[in-house]
Amino acid sequence: MAVLIEAISVVIRVKALQCGFDSIESFLETVPNETLCGDNELIRIGFNSPTEVEEYIALLEHHGLIFLQDKKTIDLVVVDQESGPTTPCDWIEFGRTKIDLDNADVASCRLINSRIVELITPQGWRYEDSLSQNLSIEHTDQTRKYLQFLRQEDGQEIYLNKMTGEEVAIDLP
């Protein structure tokens, strides 16, 4: 897989950036945190709350990128670390990628039919103490908009992702 997915990620097609921004530098000025990583096909930025995601998507749309058109993702997609794309997306593959630490794995995605196999992570990222090792989602009213608590079992909280209809398991601390 190509780019790391942690927490709630906005994944953008690189080609779309060329249409919406004058330069890569002008795009980089919009990135609100240090979670950016990318290959030559996709760029990913991570967020801890749905509110942050919505605000960033609005900024990208202001620059001409299109999130959804006729319920189909166009230039970008929101990808949840546990359950994958939050809306149907026919241009990425989401899965788990093994890394060389005691057979650990992380969530990742790549462009469909990509030949890129290397996992790209943000500069300075380490598995130890990462969200991939210890998932922690900010539980706000916005989070509850997307996740509905179902039950607690085997040291995990189980939620229903209202956007995908899938269950999401979050390890308890």
pLDDT in tens, 79-103: 999 889 999 999 999 998 888 766 7
165 or 40, which is more confident: 40
The band of 162, judged by pLDDT with boundaries at 50, 70 and 90, is low
138 has pLDDT over 50: no
Residue 173: predicted pLDDT: 52
Instruction: Share the mean pLDDT of the chain.
Output: 85
Q: What Cα–Cα distance (Å) separates residue 75 from each residue in 16, 27, 57, 82?
A: 6, 14, 11, 22
The values of phi and psi at residue 76, to 5°, are -150, 160
Looking at this protein, which amino acid is placed at residue 159? Answer: Y
The stretch 96-122 carries a mean pLDDT of 86
Contact present, 157 and 170 (Cβ < 8 Å): yes
135 has pLDDT over 80: no
Residue identified by tokens 């942050």 is 52
**Encoded tokens for 14:** 């690189």
The band of 145, judged by pLDDT with boundaries at 50, 70 and 90, is low
Residue 142: predicted pLDDT: 47
Residue 166: predicted pLDDT: 72
Q: What span, in angstroms and rounded, lies between the C-alpha atoms of 50 and 39?
A: 24
